Amino acid sequence: MHVVNANGAAIPALGLGTWTLRGDACADLVASALALGYRHVDTAARYDNEADVGRGLAASDIGRDAVFVTTKVWYTDIAAGKLERAAEASLRRLGLHHVDLLLIHWPNPTIPLKETIGALNAARRGGLTRHVGVSNFPPRLLAEAVALSEAPLVCDQVEYHPYLDQSKLVAACRAADMALVSYCPLFRDGGLFSEPAVRAAAEHHGKTPGQVILRWHVQQAGVVAIPRTTRKERLAENIAVFDFALSEPEMEAITTLTQAGRRLCDHDEFPIDWAAG
Ligand code: 1BO
């Protein structure tokens, strides 16, 4: 498995996203993914599936140290003290002694960032996680978080796909030796799969449109993708993206689709001002 090295963390470049997966189906998909060669599983307290992900991990015969597990603390739980307790609760649900990466899931402007980043570092010092990072942090807030963190942050996990320009954030992550982890990497309604640039590359390489888009992600320095699927047959397809390479013109043709600028995720209570940088 290809890895992205980010401030001391070796993050498998293609992971399994589990947002919206629940119950036995989730546990089963996690175990199947591991059997197929996935070594990176992403969950969050907010997804309400940590126990299911934990069952999937336990059902697999892949050793704990061979799997990179990420979870996230929701914005309601990121004050000092509360964050550590939330991380401990996540570990109990996952059935793990520690995770590999613990993220602040969403910024919360009502809690000082210094306090949140301090609590995140305390969780790391306490052995709850090997590495720390953030999610859904726009460039300016990321710069503040990087400056405040005692342990280097290893990633910013954000929505990223060819319809959404994240070039500023990709550059900021590279400058800080961090990974940008793409969630919703395939967009959502499949419309992206019909784009001529995607279809042409798929035909040329004998790959599916989904594989071309995932390849576009992992071929960018420092970018990790965590596609989610509810279908077992898609698991194998999504991970088979390391045996071909897109040419520079193919990469560029897909990158220009960002002109469409379509974002899928925001949050009502604390919408993020991405335009402010
Ligand atoms: C609001 C959830 C975003 C993806 O983790």
Is 270 part of any domain? no
pTM of the model as a whole:
0.97
Average model confidence (pLDDT) for the chain? 96
Is 276 part of any domain? no
3-class secondary structure per residue, the chain: CCEEEECCEEEECECEECCCCCHHHHHHHHHHHHHHCCCEEECCHHHCCHHHHHHHHHHCCCCHHHCEEEEEECHHHCCCCHHHHHHHHHHHHHCCCCEEEEEECCCCCCCCHHHHHHHHHHHHHCCCEEEEEEECCCHHHHHHHHHHCCCCCCEEEEECCCCCCCHHHHHHHHHCCCEEEEECCCCCCCHHHHCHHHHHHHHHHCCCHHHHHHHHHHCCCCEEECCCCCCHHHHHHHHCCCCCCCCHHHHHHHHHHHHHCCCCCCCCCCCCCHHHC
Is 176 part of any domain? yes
pLDDT tens-place string over residues 190-227: 689 999 999 999 999 999 999 999 999 999 999 999 99
Is 37 part of any domain? yes
Decide whether any atom of ligand 1 lies within 6 Å of the 183 Cβ. Answer: yes
Is 274 part of any domain? no
Q: Is 163 among the catalytic positions?
A: no
Is 106 part of any domain? yes
Decide whether any atom of ligand 1 lies within 6 Å of the 79 Cβ. Answer: no
Is 269 part of any domain? no
Residues in binding site for substrate:
105
pLDDT tens-place string over residues 148-163: 999 999 999 999 999 9
Is 223 part of any domain? yes
Domain count, the chain: 1
Best residue among 265, 268, 274 to mutate for probing ligand 1, ranked by most atoms within 8 Å of CB = 265
- List the CATH number of the domain containing 149: 3.20.20.100
- Structural domain including 30 reads 3-260
